[in-house]
Structure formats: C-alpha cells, structure tokens
C-alpha cells in the first residue's frame, strides 16, 4: 500500500500524524513491508525551497518503511534526486498538453519529458550500485595505469641511503606501492640504480 504524506505548517506534529496513520494500517493487519510512504507538498507547483527531501528520507528511517516522493515541482530533477536519496516510488503528474485547463498542468510532464525522467531515474538506479567499496569491472584494466610505484628521482649509487629527496611516486604501478615507502627510508641501496628507475624490496640492505 502506498500512503501519501503531505507537509504541514506544524511540522513538529507531522511525524506524529504519520505514526498515527501507520498504526491504523498496521493494527488493521497490513504488514509494514507492504507500506510505502510518499512525501508530498500540495502546492501546485511546489517551490524548490519547500520540497524538503531530507524529511522524506528521515520519515523512511524513523518508521523503517519504504519511502517515495509525490512530486508537484516543475521539471524532472526533483524526482531524480529523490531516487538518489532512496525513494522507491515516484508519483508525477502526466499531461498530453500543458495548455489544457487545470491547476496541475504546470507541474505535469508531457510524454517527452516523462520519458526523459524515467530514463534518468533508471540511470540513477544503476549508478547507486551497492554499499561495497571495490574496483568495478570497468576499471580493473586501469589499475596499473592510474596507481603509482616507487621510483628513483636521482641516480643512486651502491651504499647510498634512500630518502624522500631521491625517491618519487610515479605511474604506472609496476612495482612497490607508495604505501610501503617506509620500508626504504634510511635504508641503503645494494646496487647502482639510474634516475627514474623502478625499485624493489630486494634493492635495500637487510
């Protein structure tokens, strides 16, 4: 079941009203998992400053239900933003002609605009991905190109001490990660190494 929730002037009480409405439904046997709350402003069109998408998200978090947005703004950006903030349902007025009479024509979308909104929302859904932070399939081939290794910034002679003045972090990542540079600092080189050469852990004195 989808429940629309409009903003009130007495905003302190509005969450309590939402809670009361939810309790009626739940007491009547409706499972919470079947309920989606839609945040809404009843002004046609709704000023951008009155949208308050943060309240939509907070409402869903407080009551632990799915949430969405019933939109009366002009354009398509607010429904798209709502989806990016976790909305699972979008309600938007549709018209075949914005010159037709009626209070909601200005806030409605024509067929071209509606298609554009849906396309953008589908892209946002894809872009949201998961909560796992890891390389995507599309960037795996770029790891060695964009990451760096430790190189010499000067000619190094056997017995010279590695320091921040004669080492530099450069692409590509074919050698030791810069995260391990401490392994080299104040350690002596066991061989002559030319400037701008990649170094390895076997180049340092044990």
The pLDDT score that the predictor gives to residue 6 is 54
90 and 69 co-located in one domain = yes
Report the distance separating Cα 192 and Cα 154, nearest Å. 11
Residues 73 and 15 in one domain: yes
The verdict on residue 134 lying in a domain is no
| Residue 13 confidence (pLDDT) | 58
Percentage with pLDDT > 90 across the chain: 84
Q: Which residue, 65, 96, 128, sits at the end of a domain?
A: 128
Examine the domain organization and report whether 13 and 89 are in the same domain. Answer: yes
Query: Are 94 and 62 contacting, i.e. CB atoms less than 8 angstroms apart?
Result: no
Residue 168, SS3 per DSSP: strand
Please give the residue that has the higher pLDDT: either 137 or 162.
Answer: 162
Average pLDDT, the chain: 93
Burial of 154 (0-12, 13-18, 19+ CB in 10 A): middle
CATH code of the domain containing 146? 3.90.1210.10
Calpha distance 107→45 (Å, rounded): 5
Do 82 and 159 have their domain in common?
no
168 by Cβ neighbours in 10 Å (0-12 / 13-18 / 19+) ranks as middle
CATH number at residue 98: 3.20.20.70
Q: Which residues pair with 156 in a beta bridge?
A: 193
Q: Is 177 domain-assigned?
A: yes
Whether 54 and 149 share a structural domain: no
Q: Is 15 contained in some domain? A: yes
Using CA atoms, how far apart are residues 49 and 46, in angstroms rounded to an integer? 8
Instruction: Say yes or no: 119 and 187 in one domain.
Output: no
Q: Where among 128, 151, 172 does a domain terminate?
A: 128
69 and 8 in one domain? Answer: yes
Q: Are residues 193 and 91 in the same domain?
A: no
CA terminus-to-terminus distance, the chain: 69
Cβ neighbours around 25 below 10 Å, total: 15
Q: Domain containing 110: what range?
A: 2-128
Task: Report the Cα 176 to chain-centroid distance in Å.
Answer: 32
Q: Are residues 148 and 81 in the same domain?
A: no
Number of domains observed in the structure of the chain:
2
107-150 tens-digit pLDDT: 999 999 999 999 999 999 999 999 999 989 899 889 889 999 99
Whether residues 11 and 112 share a domain: the answer is yes
- Tell the residue number behind the tokens 């946002």, with chain if given: 124
Is residue 154 one of the residues assigned to a domain? Answer: yes
């Amino acid at each position: 079941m989808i429940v629309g929730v409009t903003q009130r002037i007495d905003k302190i009480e509005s969450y309590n009203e939402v809670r009361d409405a939810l309790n009626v439904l739940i007491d009547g046997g409706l499972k919470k998992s079947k309920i989606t709350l839609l945040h809404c402003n009843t002004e046609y069109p709704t000023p951008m400053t009155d949208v308050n998408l943060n309240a939509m998200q907070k409402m869903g978090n407080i009551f632990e239900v799915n949430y969405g947005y019933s939109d009366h703004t002009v354009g398509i950006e607010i429904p798209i933003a709502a989806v990016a903030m976790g909305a699972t349902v979008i309600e938007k007025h549709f018209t075949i002609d914005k010159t037709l009479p009626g209070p909601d024509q200005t806030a409605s979308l024509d067929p071209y605009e509606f298609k554009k909104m849906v396309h953008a929302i589908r892209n946002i859904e894809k872009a949201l991905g998961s909560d796992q932070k890891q390389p995507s399939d599309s960037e795996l081939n770029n790891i060695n190109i964009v990451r760096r290794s430790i190189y010499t910034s000067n000619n190094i002679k056997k017995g010279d001490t590695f320091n921040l003045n004669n080492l530099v972090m450069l692409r590509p990542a074919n050698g030791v990660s810069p995260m391990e540079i401490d392994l080299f600092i104040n350690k002596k080189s066991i061989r002559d190494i030319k400037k701008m050469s990649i170094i390895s852990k076997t180049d340092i004195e044990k």
